[in-house]
Structure 1
Amino acid sequence: MSDDKNKGGSKLTLDKPGRLELKKTVETGQVKQSFSHGRSKTVTVEVKRKRTFERGASGKMRAVEEGGKASTSAATYSPAMDGLSDAERDARMKALAGAAEQEERLRKEREDSDRRAKEAAERRKEEEEQKVKDAEAEKARAEVEAKMKAEMEAKRAAEEEAARQLAEEEKKRDAEKAAAGSKSAPKENKAAPKAAVVADDAGGANRGPKKRPVEKKTQAAPQPSRASRGEPRRRQGKLTITQALDGDEGQPRTQSLAAVKRRREKEKLQAQDMRNRNEKISREVTVPESITVAELANRMAERVGDVIKSLMKMGVMATQNQSIDPDTAELVIEEFGHTIVRVAESDVEDILVGEADNEADMVSRAPVVTVMGHVDHGKTSLLDALRATDVAAGEAGGITQHIGAYQVEMASGDQITFLDTPGHEAFTQMRMRGASVTDIVVLVVAADDGIQPQTKEAIAHSKAAEVPIIVAINKCDKPEADPMRIKTQLLENDLIPEDMGGEIVCVEVSAKARTGLDDLEEHILLQSEILELKANPDRKAEGAVVEARMEKGRGSVATVLIQRGTISVGDIFVAGGESGRVRALLDDKGRKIKTAGPSVPVEILGFQGTPSAGDDFAVVDDEATAREIAEYRQRKAKAAKQIVTQGMSSLDQLFSQIKAGEIKEMPVVIKTDVQGSLEAITASLEKLANDEVKVRVLHGAVGGLTESDVTLAASTGGVCMGFNVRANPQARDMARRDGVDIRYYSVIYDMIDDVKKVLGGMLAPEVRENFLGYAEIREVFNITKAGKIGGCYVTEGMVKRGAKVRLLRDNVVIHEGTLKTLRRFKDDVKEVQSGYECGMAFENYEDIKAGDVIEAFEIEEIAREL
C-alpha cells in the first residue's frame, strides 16, 4: 500500500495478485522449572494470540488486540491519525507500542510476584513439615541424649551462630553483587512480545522488513530483597525458553540458602545419631571365679587394649590370655560403667538339680539290694542261686574281683536289683556323694564261721548309711552250722534279731542246697513295701556309676544303676569328670536294649573317659553343657590333689573347728593289735563322754588300717587311730589324697590324753568372777566434754582401770558395765588401793549420785577338763 493512494482516498488494493493469509496465532515451547531439594520439571508453554477485526468510524477495518486494544498497525488508521505526516505517525506508533509493551511487562511482573509468593508459601509449608518431623525425631532421641544434652546444646548454639553469621555474610555479598550489577548492566532494548508482531491488515505494498519501534526503558516497582526475607537471591528479568534451555545446558543453578541450611541440619542429625550409637551402654557382666582379660573385654564389649590400660593404672600387669581374680575384674567393670554379676564356677552343676517330682508321676520301682559280708561266706553263690546262674565259676579263684549289678525277676513277677561287691568301698563312696543308691543291705554270715572282721565292717558301714539290714545266715546245710550262735553274735554288734525282740530279720538259707531263698525274697519285698520305693520314669535319667572299666575294642564301659528317669540310646550324659553320648545300652545279661528305667542296672558305652565308681550320672540337654560340667569337675579334682597341707594336721583342724563351735562329737576309727587292747581303748573312750561332748567310735577292729577304714573316716570327717599297728601303702595314699589324719600310738594313755584334750576343747570354758573392791561416791563433778565424774573413796580392796563395775544404790544393782577412766588428781592410774581417793567415770553411763557404791570385779575364763 502506497502513501499516495492513501492520501488520494482510493480503494485499498493488492499490488500483486495473491491471496490473503493469516499467520500462526499459537507459539509453543518448553521451559524447565527448578524446585527445592534438587527437583526439576519440564513443562510445555503455549502462547496464544487472538486477532479480531472491527470497522472503524471511517469504515476502515482494523485489528483489535485481546482486551480491546487495537494493534499497532490498526492504530495507523485511527481517525486521530488521519492527516498526520509519516514522522508523526511513526512517533505515535512507537508511543502506542511502548505503552502496550509496558503494560505487558507489568502483567508479567504481577504473575512473577504471585508465583514467588506461592513458592514462598510452599517452601514455608515444607519447612514447617520438616520442623514437625525434626521435633518428632528429637523427641525420640531425647532419652539417649540425656547425658550429652549440655554438650549438644552448646554445639547447636555455636552452629546456629555460625549459620547466622554465614547468612549475614551471604546477604552482604548478594547486596554488593546486586548493586554492582545494576551499575554495570548495559542498557538494552527489550524485545517486543512475539505475539505483538505488527501485521498489515491491508496487505501493504511494501513487504520488506519493517523497522521495529524503539522500546522505552521503564523501571519496575521496587521489590523487597529476597535476602532480607531469608530467601535465596533469584534471577532478574523474565525467564524465556532460550534462557531456560541455556541454563539447563550451561552452568547449574546455585543452591538456595534454605537448601544449604537443610543439608547442614541433616548432616548434624546424622552425626548426632552416630554419637548416640557410639554411646556407652551399661551391661551386666557375668564374672566367674577366674576370667581372662580377653574374655572380660569380650563380655563388656570393650577393646582388649583399653582393659589392659585400665589394669596397668591399677598396677596390674597382665596380658590378654592371663586370668584375673573377681575383685580386680569388678574394679575394671565399674570403671567402664558396667554392672558385675558374680557367679561361682560350681553354678554349672545347678542344671543337674532337677525339680521335685510330683506325687502323681511317681510309680513303684524295684528295690536295690547290696549283698555284703565276709570273704568266702557265700555272697556271690547266694546271688547265683537267686539268679539261677553260675557267675562264681567265672571268677578267678572263686573270689569276686569286680562289682556286679544284676536284676532278678521273681516267680511272682516282682523284680529285685542286686549289687554284689567284693567290699564296701564303692558303697561308702556313693553314700559320701549323697547318692541314695542302696535301699536294703543283705548281710551274709556263714553259719559255720560266724561274724568275722569284715562282717563287722559291713555292719558299721550299714549303720553309718542308715540302711535297713536283713541278715542271711548261709551254709545252714552243713552239720556244724549253728544259727543261734550267729544270732548271739549279732547281739554283741547291736543287731537284735526279731525272735529276740528286735527289728533285724534273720533268714536261714543255703545257697548250695537252694533252701530258704523264697523266704529271703519275701522279706526283701516286704521291706521294700514298708519303704514305699517310688520313682518318676518320665524325666531325664539320673543314677550312679557302680563300676567302670576299660575294655579292648569297646572303650570305657560303665555299669550304671538308674535311680529315676529313663535313659535311651543317643542321650548325652555326664558322669563325674567324664561326659559322652550313649552309643549302646546292655542289660545284666549282655543283651542290647533301647531304654532303661528306674532301678535298672545297665552297661553304657560311649564315655569319653573312664569314670570312678560311685560317681553321679545324669543326662543333660546338649554336649556343650556336658563338657562344661565335666571340665569343671576335672579342674576341681586337680586342685584338690594339689593342695598341700603344711604344719597343720587334721587333728589341728579338728581343734580349730571345735573352737568355732562346729563339732560336739568326735568320730574315730580304731585299729589295734589284739582284741583286749581294742576293748580297753573303746571302754576308756566311752567313759570320757558327758552331756556336752562324746566320742563316736565308727569302727573298731583288730588288724592294720586299710582303705575301707580311711574311706569310712573320710565319709564322716573322723580320725583314724592305730595302736601298735600301721596302715598299708594304699591306705596311706588314700588318706593323703582325702585329707584323713592317721595317728599311731604305742601307749594307751597317750591316745586317751589326746582324745581328752580334743573333748576338753569342745567344752565351753568356765567363767569365774573375782571380787576386787568397793568404792563410795562422795561427790559428783560435771566436767565439760568429759561428762559426770564421781569423786570416790576406796573403802575396801582396790579398783583397777578397765575392770567390770556394778553401781549399787541402796544395796540394789542399778547398772553393770565397764570402768572408763580412773584418775588420782590429774593423772591416769592403773589401780587405786583402799584408803585413797580417786575419780571414776563409767562407760556410756552417767546417772550417778553422791552416796552410791561402786563394786569392782573381773571375769576369768578357765578351760574345762574332763
Structure 2
Amino acid sequence: MTDSKTPGDKTLSVNPPKTLSLKRPVEQSTVRQSFSHGRTKQVVVEVKRRVPGHEVKEPVPPRPPQPAPAQSAPRPAPQAPAPQRPAGSMLLRTLSDEEKDARQRALAEARSSEAEARRAAEEEARQRAQAAERERQEREAAQARQRQEEERRRHEDEQKRRAETVVRQRDEQVARPASPPPAQQPRESAPSPDQAPAPQPTQYFGRPAPSGPREFTPRPPMRDTGARPPRLDSRPPRSDAPRAPRMDASAPAEPAVARPVRQAPSANTTRNRSDDVDVKAAFRRPGLGAGPGRGPAPAAPKTPKVSNERPRGRLTLSTATGSEDERTRSVASFRRRVQRMTGHRASDAQKERVMREVIIPETITIQELANRMTERGVDVIRLLMKQGAMHKITDVIDADTAQLIAEEMGHTVKRVAESDVEEGLFDTPDTDEALEARPAVVTIMGHVDHGKTSLLDAIRKTKVVTGEAGGITQHIGAYQVTTPLGSQVTFIDTPGHAAFTAMRARGAKVTDIVVLVVAADDGVMPQTAEAIHHAKAAGVPLIVAINKVDKADANPDRVRAELLQYEIQVETLGGETLEVEVSAKTGHNLDKLLEAIALQAEVLDLKANPDRAAEGTVIEAKLDRGRGPVATVLVQRGTLRTGDIIVAGAEWGRVRALIADTGAQVKEAPPSMPVEVLGFNGTPEAGDRVAVVESEARAREVTEYRERQRRDRLAARGAASGAGRSLADMMRDLKEGAGRKEFPLVVKGDVQGSVEAIVGALEKVGNDEVRARVLSSGVGAITESDVTLAQASGAVVVGFNVRAHKEAREAAERAGVEIRYYNIIYNLMDDVKDAMSGLLAPTLRETMLGNATILEIFNVSKVGKIAGCRVTDGTIERGANVRLIRDNVVVHEGKLAQLKRFKDDAKEVVAGQECGMSFENYQDMRPGDVIECYRVEEIKRTL
C-alpha cells in the first residue's frame, strides 16, 4: 500500500519488509530399510534439486532469536507520526539503556542455550556412533559365529559321507560271495562295458571330480559286521524321489554327479522332511559288489541332496512375502541356544553370590525367606525336600527351620521375636546428670470406714467424702497436695471394701510410700491385713496413721499390739516403722503426718528425668458420654504433653487434653503428677502402663501385637479348660452342670475399677447348685445392645453409678427386661444374693405326728378298702403324709385320703381312739400293718 501510494518515498521503517525467496523443487521417493530379525521399513526421502545459477554458500550460523519487546522491556507508548523528511534522509530511533540491557541478556541467553543445544547434539551423536559401532561389532560377531557354524556343519557332513562310503564298501565286500549270479540280476542293471561312459563333470562337491574309480584302503574293522542289523531308515524310496541306479559286478563306475549349489528356498515352498529321509535312505542302501575276480568296485556317487528346510526365525509379513537371501541366526537366538546347551552353567558360574544378613521372625513364609536371601524359591524348597519335608512356596515355617536353610545357603541370620515391637517402650535407663527431684507418691490404704478419705480431705481441705454414696469410697482417686513446708505430695486414695482388692494392689504398685490408716476404736481388720500384704509385696516403706484418737473408746496401744502379729513394729515399741496418732475430724497431728511423709521421701531420694518421653500407669479409666474414653494416668517418668501419641495396653491415641485433679487444663504433666488424659480410641484397662511413641505406625504395631496376645491368652484359657480331660470327666461335669442353675447378669459401671471389683465379687458368690454368670461387663451407660443381650439370655441388667439411655429404657419396657440401679456395692451384692437364693431348692424337713395299727380291713362299695385302725401314739391328721410298714419294711408312701371317726369325718384322731383310714391310689392293706403319719416342712435356703 505504501509503495503504490508514495512510490518516491525512500524512508526506512523500523519493521523490515518480508524477504522474498524462491523455494527449491522437492522430489519424494520411498526407500526400504532392512533391520535385524528380518524386519523392514519403508521411509519417504525428499530430494532437493539445486537451481542452476545458484552457488552453494558456506553455512552461516543461525542468528539467535530476538526476544519480543513485550518479553524484554515494556512496550513504549505510541508516538505521534514522524514528520515528513526530504528524500534521502534516514530516521533512526535510539535504544534506551534498558532495551540494550535486555537485548544483551537475550543474546547471552541465546548463546548459552545454543551452546547447550550444541553440546547435547554432540553427546547424542557420540552415543549414536557408539551404538552403531556396538551393533556393527555384534553383527560381525554373529556373522563370524554363523560362518563357523556352517563350516562345522560342512565338516560334519563330509565326515559323515566318508564314513558312509567306508561302511558301504565294507558291506559290499562282505556281501560279495553271497551275490546272485548274473542271470538273476534285476532288469535295471548297469550298462554294458561296450557302452561309452558318460562324460565326467568338472565339479565334485566343490572340487575337481576324479577321472576314474577311487581306490579304497580298508581300515581295521571296529566291530563285527557279519551280522549287521538292518537300518531303521533303509526303507524303499518314494516314487517321486530320485532313485539311485543299482550296480552290476561287470558294470563300470558311474560318473560322479556334480552337487548343485544350494539356493535359498522360496517363501512359498514348504519344508518336507519325508523327502530328506527317503533321499538319505536311498544313498545309505549298500551297493552290490563286483563279480568274482574283480577288484573292489568304486562307491556309487551320491545324488544331490535337495533340502527344503528353511532356517528357523521369526515369521513376519516381509519374510513371508519377500524373496531375500538366507537369513542368519540372531545374537539373541545364538545366546539362547548356548544357554540351552550349557544348562545355564556358564551364567551361574559367572554370577557372584552375595551373602546377606537375613532377619528371621518367629514364623515366615518360604517366599518371604527366599526374597530376603535373594534366592530362588525352588532352591529353598529343594533344600527342604532334602530334609524330608514337602512344602509349597506359600507355606509358613518356623524360625529354626528358616535359620537352617539360610545358613545352608551361606547367609548370616539375625533372629527377631514378635515381642520386639515393645522393645524400648519402658524402663530405658537414664543418666544421673539428667535426673531431677520429683514429688513423692503416697497411697492411703486401710479397712473400710476407718477414715482414709476423711483424713485426705483434712489434709487437702476438701469434702470428697460427702460426695461418696453411703459414706464409703468406691473409686480410686489421685490428688496432688502442697504441704505447709512448700513441697508437693501426690496422694492416691483407695477403697477399703473387700471387693476392691485389685484397686489396692494397683495403688501399692505405683506408690513410693504407703500410709496405713487404722481406726483406734476398731483395731486391725481383714482389709488392714490385706493392705499390709500389698505393701510388703510392693517393697515400699510403711507409715501407720492411727486415726480417730479423739473418740472416747480409742485405744492406740491395742492397735500397736495387733500390728505385731503382722510383723509391723512401730517406733514406740522400738521398731523402724513410723507411726502417728491423728484425728481427721479435729485435725490433730496432721502436720506431724506430713513431716513423717517428707522425712521418708527425703530418705528415699526420689528422682526422675523430666526431659524424655513420658511413661506412666493408668490409675482409673472410664467412658464419658461427652468426652469419650478418659483415663487417669500417673506420670512416673518424663513429661506428658498435649499432642503426644501414647499407647496404653491394647489402646492408643493422641493426647487431646490434660486435666489436673483441680479440673483445670494443663499443657504438660511432669513426673509424679496425676492427670486425666483425653484422646484414647478406646477405654484402656486399669493398671495398663502408658508410654509415648514416636509415630502412629509404631502405636498401631504395638497395640495390634497386644491385641493378638490377648486373644491368644483367651483362646489358650478356653483350650486349657477343655484340654487333657477324659470322656468320663466331661460326662461328670455335664451331669453336675445339668442340675446347676445360673443367674445371668449384665453389669455396667462408671469406671473400670468398679466394674472389675463387682465382677470379681459376683464370681465368688454361689455354690454347687447356683452361681452368678456375668454375660457382659463394661464401662459407660446402659445401651440398647445391653438390653438386647439381656432379653436374649433372660438376664438382669445392673447399673453401678450409671443410668440407661432413653432408647435403652424404652426397649427394656417393651421387652420386659429388668434394670436395677445401684450406687453402693453392699446393696448390689445383697440383692444379687437374695435373687440367687430364690433359685435354690428349699430344704425339706419331716415332723413325726403319730402311729396307728390296722385291726381290720372293710370293703365298701364305690369307695374301696377301708382300714380300721387304733391310734397307738401321737396324733393322726387328715391330709398328712403316711407310710405303710409291713414286717418292718416300708411298702408304701403317700397321703391320707380319708379319716373318719365312726361315720363322721374327723380332722384329727388322738392316741387311744379308733378310726377308719383310706389311702390315695393304694388298696393293698392288711391287718397288722403299721401306719406312720408325718408332716413335711419346706425351709428356704440362703447363700
TM bracket, shorter-chain basis: 0.3 to 0.5
TM-score normalised by the chain length of structure 1: 0.43
TM-score normalised by the chain length of structure 2: 0.40
